[in-house]
Amino acid sequence: MARRSCKSDIVLNIENNQHADSFCNQFAFFVTIGQFVGLMPLKKIKKNGKYDFYFQWFSPRIIYYFVNVVSSFSIGIFCIIEFSVYGFQLDKAGTLMFYVLNFFGAMVFLNISRYWSHIMDEWTHTEIALKSFREVKHFKRRLILTTVVATILATVEHLLFILNDISKTSVCKGEETNKIEEYFNIAHPQVFRLVAFSYWAAVLVKLANIISTFTWNYTDSFIILISSGLAVRFKQIAETIQNKNLQESDDKYWRETREDFNKLYQLCTVVDKHISLLVTVSFANNIFFICIQLYNSLKYREGFIEKAYYFYSFAFLLLRTASITLYGAWVNDESRKPLQRLHSVPPKQYNIEVTRLIEQMSSTPIGITGSQLFIVTRGFLLKIVGTIITMELMLLQFGPLIKDDKPKSFSISRQCNFTDTE
């Protein structure tokens, strides 16, 4: 398949032996993970130490991708049908949004995959064109470590989710009942309140749940790693300016520095164009679940596992939301960091290039955005907190949680009764 042409104004002949420390090569392992779970339907080719990824509509990877998408979509439909039959329950709306938002997230990854070769070509052009380009020590190791930590935390959260449902199964009465069936009735009532239990259906539902869970975590990690790749390049320019003897700077130096900064700005624009919708989905997903978890905090919880799952999942939600915000804000922070140094340029070295560089850094918003609706900065984290508080007050006002004052034995029996519409 022919390589997509770059729209960048940088015209360079890139050697076939691409540097091993380029972001395309460093990020290849994460794209491979996306291929494994069907989120990045790309064909991987390694040539002369260089990784290339190509998108093809007619390939087994596309079939695998649509299996992923259809699974989330199908469970989402079951959630809607359950609400239409048994009535809407606010504290259970999280299940619906979980599958719906992950469905949209998977759809966004298809669009990213279509233009991935173009994005990486732009990235490679920019890295080679930068005058201040140099190897970022241990950057791939940093990316891998971030991915491993995120995966471990997410795995623990999902295992606690499973253990929580198993603990509810263990208290259900009736020794003659099928414990596996009881587990799936508790864990996935949106399906098995509507259809009869069968083992093949249970396997499909569990696979859909695992795939959607991985999509959610992959989405957040993807944004974090992409933001890191952009931020370290802006950091190199900031360090170059910081370490430069301003008394020895001249027009040529400031012109080259401004051109480097502009190339990075153009790259950031290209990347943001393709991932901004994914950023919106990620923040919508995390903020919504933080609100739901706060709302569900009013519920009484029995047993250590149920309490451990709630507090761990809530802390994990806060951590991942803060991480995405801070890593996304890192791009904006590094792009503005040289401003203080630029204002210290001596009058004899001050020229039109310095003026243009200051104007671009201070007046042009640079960073990761959410569908061009907002730019991720450190201050955005405070806006998220304000939004969560506002939404939580609305939920408490318009969807009051019904407190269960029944005795413990009664509440346990209700957990095992799935014909009760409450």
pLDDT value, residue 422: 41
Q: Is 371 left (phi over 0), alpha (psi -120 to 50) or beta?
A: left
pLDDT value, residue 177: 63
Q: Give the type of residue at 352.
A: I
Q: Is residue 23 exposed (0-12), middle (13-18) or buried (19+ Cβ within 10 Å)? A: buried
Q: What is the pTM of this model?
A: 0.85
pLDDT value, residue 281: 93
DSSP structure string for 139-151? HHHHHHHHHHHHH
The CA distance from 71 to 185, in Å, is 18
DSSP structure string for 255-284? HHHHHHHHHHHHHHHHHHHHHHHHHHHHHH
The CA distance from 82 to 67, in Å, is 23
pLDDT value, residue 223: 94
Please tell me the number of Cα atoms within 13 Å of 213 on its side-chain side: 18
Give the count of beta carbons closer than 10 Å to the beta carbon of residue 181. Answer: 16
The domain locations on the chain are: 23-402
pLDDT value, residue 268: 93
Low-confidence stretches of the chain (pLDDT beneath 70):
1-20, 47-49, 90-91, 131-133, 170-177, 395-422
DSSP structure string for 158-209? HHHHHHHHHHHHHT---TTS-HHHHHHHHH-HHHHTTS---HHHHHHHHHHH
pLDDT value, residue 132: 62
pLDDT value, residue 170: 65
pLDDT value, residue 3: 46
pLDDT value, residue 9: 41
